[in-house]
Structure 1
Amino acid sequence: MATFHLRDRAWRPPMLRSSSRTEPRQGASMAVLCDWAMSTALCVGVSAFLPAAVVPWILAAMLNLAGLVWLGVALTTAGPPFKRGRFTAWDGSLLSFATSFGVQAAARLGLLGA
């Protein structure tokens, strides 16, 4: 049976742990969010060179592919999908898919002028 040592830092509640352990998690979270924003910006930038009639559909397809790439990264390296208070590659995948579906919905409603 496992015993809990009161002086062991790993078993302290999160509010009693030192703040130095929470800093890298916030930095990693922001790194994932910035990487997702850069991949979305790349998709928008590439689709800007296309004819206006096909931009929404190609943009949605590229965002969907970016979501699949994020999903592949999440499956191979990110660990569990739900980490409270932290963005992971799973969240990047969900954001890419949601953005893709939003672009498709806006294109079908005629909001993008296509």
Structure 2
Amino acid sequence: MTTLHLKDWRHRWSWVQRRWFMVPARGTNAALLTDWLLTMSLCVGLASILPVSIAVWALAALFSVAGYVWLALAITQAGPPAASPHLTAWDAALLSFAVSFGVQTAGYLGAFSP
């Protein structure tokens, strides 16, 4: 039976390696989230100049289009969607589609009607 030695040097080294690899991922996550938020704010800005009656549906459509753009970016430039320690364009595409579906659901439920 294997025992766990807390003073084992391999255990400490793996913790140091994990800590060292996670620091650059924070910057990558922040950069991707910043780009995604800028994309979403552009969609909101474009939808805000439309009449109120179609603004919600146009906003949902713009979020969906942004999701497809992020998906195209992920397919052409990003690596595989799994086993990445930080956020990728795949995650941004999923976030865009989730926001689009959320806006559509809220629109159907009448959350934006006066």
For residues 88 and 33 of structure 1, what CA distance do their matches in structure 2 show?
9
Q: Which string of whole-angstrom CA distances, capped at 9 and with x for unpartnered residues, describes residues 33-69 of structure 1? A: 1111110011001100100000111001100000000
For residues 18 and 61 of structure 2, what CA distance do their matches in structure 1 show?
44
Q: Helix, strand or coil for the counterpart of 1:17? A: helix
- Counterpart of 1:101, as a letter, is F
Hey, what does 1:109 align to over in structure 2? Answer: 109
TM-score (norm 1): 0.80
TM-score (norm 2): 0.80
> Any stretches of 5+ residues in structure 1 without a counterpart?
1-12
> Any stretches of 5+ residues in structure 2 without a counterpart?
1-12
Whether contact under 8 Å (2:22, 2:85) holds in the other structure is no
Matched, 1:69 2:69: yes
Q: Helix, strand or coil for the counterpart of 1:81? A: coil
For residues 67 and 43 of structure 1, what CA distance do their matches in structure 2 show?
11
Q: Which has the higher helix share?
A: 2
Whether contact under 8 Å (2:32, 2:89) holds in the other structure is yes
